[in-house]
């Protein structure tokens, strides 16, 4: 369903009313904030996959790069970068992981995003409360034999993403 009327492209129903141009309904593409986990547990290959996902998100919003913001985050959120090119985004980090600061940085953006996409290996604490927008968590696949969740505690298994997030596996 459309959200707003526009005369930029007349309605197809205008053909049935000669001499009258009717507006059509158009949906505004969503503003998307992408939080990328740049902690030490995320490999270079996974960061490359994250950049491919950012490019796909940009295409999904009609190529409107002004609607996509990227927030690199390990234990602290970095600067929110408006998307120019996926290759130009500095993915700084390498420390521990706490993506709650990434959520906070993404949600403080003005205008506020309609969707927050988090690309992570899942080794993070999650916000206690549901964010005020849709949330998608893209998980990098991890084998069951992967014991590197925490180098100091091999018994540690991270919490699953919260129930309020839509979870997809990045493949």
In tens, the pLDDT along 105-123 reads 999 988 899 999 999 999 8
Alpha-carbon span 53 to 45, nearest angstrom: 12
Under DSSP, is residue 86 helix (H, G, I), strand (E, B) or coil? helix
pLDDT digits (tens, 9 = 90+) for 25-53: 777 889 999 999 999 889 889 999 999 99
| pLDDT at residue 1 in the model | 46
Alpha-carbon span 167 to 151, nearest angstrom: 25
The reply to whether 18 and 78 lie within a common domain is: no
User: pLDDT band at 23, cuts 50/70/90?
Assistant: confident
Alpha-carbon span 171 to 131, nearest angstrom: 26
| pLDDT at residue 86 in the model | 54
User: pLDDT band at 144, cuts 50/70/90?
Assistant: very low
Question: Quick one: tokens of 34?
Answer: 């992408």
Alpha-carbon span 34 to 51, nearest angstrom: 10
The reply to whether 62 and 12 lie within a common domain is: no
The reply to whether 156 and 115 lie within a common domain is: yes
The reply to whether 49 and 108 lie within a common domain is: yes
- Average pLDDT of the segment spanning 124-150: 79
The reply to whether 50 and 74 lie within a common domain is: yes
> Is 0.85 surpassed by the pTM of this model?
no
The reply to whether 107 and 138 lie within a common domain is: yes
The reply to whether 36 and 48 lie within a common domain is: yes
Give the list of residues 6+ apart from residue 13 with CB closer than 8 angstroms, or none.
Answer: 22
Domain holding 22, by residue range, is: 1-27
The reply to whether 2 and 81 lie within a common domain is: no
Split into its structural domains, the chain has a count of 2
- pLDDT for residue 146 is more than 60: no
| pLDDT at residue 154 in the model | 61
Give the list of residues 6+ apart from residue 117 with CB closer than 8 angstroms, or none.
Answer: 32, 33, 34, 35, 53, 57, 135, 136, 137, 138
The reply to whether 21 and 51 lie within a common domain is: no
The reply to whether 5 and 84 lie within a common domain is: no
| pLDDT at residue 126 in the model | 94
* CATH code assigned at 122: 3.40.50.410
């Amino acid at each position: 369903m459309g959200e707003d009327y526009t005369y930029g492209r007349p309605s197809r129903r205008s053909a049935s009313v000669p001499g009258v141009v009717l507006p059509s309904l158009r949906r505004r593409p969503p503003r998307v904030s992408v939080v990328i986990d740049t902690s030490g547990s995320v490999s270079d290959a996974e960061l490359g996959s994250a950049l491919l996902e950012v490019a796909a998100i940009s295409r999904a919003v009609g190529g409107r790069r002004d609607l996509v913001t990227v927030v690199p985050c390990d234990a602290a959120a970095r600067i929110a970068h408006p998307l120019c090119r996926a290759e130009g985004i500095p993915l700084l980090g390498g420390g521990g992981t706490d993506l709650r600061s990434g959520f906070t940085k993404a949600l403080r953006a003005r205008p506020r995003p309609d969707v927050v996409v988090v690309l992570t290996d899942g080794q993070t604490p999650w916000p206690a409360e549901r964010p005020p927008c849709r949330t998608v968590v893209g998980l990098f696949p991890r084998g069951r034999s992967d014991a590197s969740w925490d180098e100091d505690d091999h018994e540690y298994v991270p919490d699953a993403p919260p129930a309020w997030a839509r979870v997809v596996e990045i493949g």
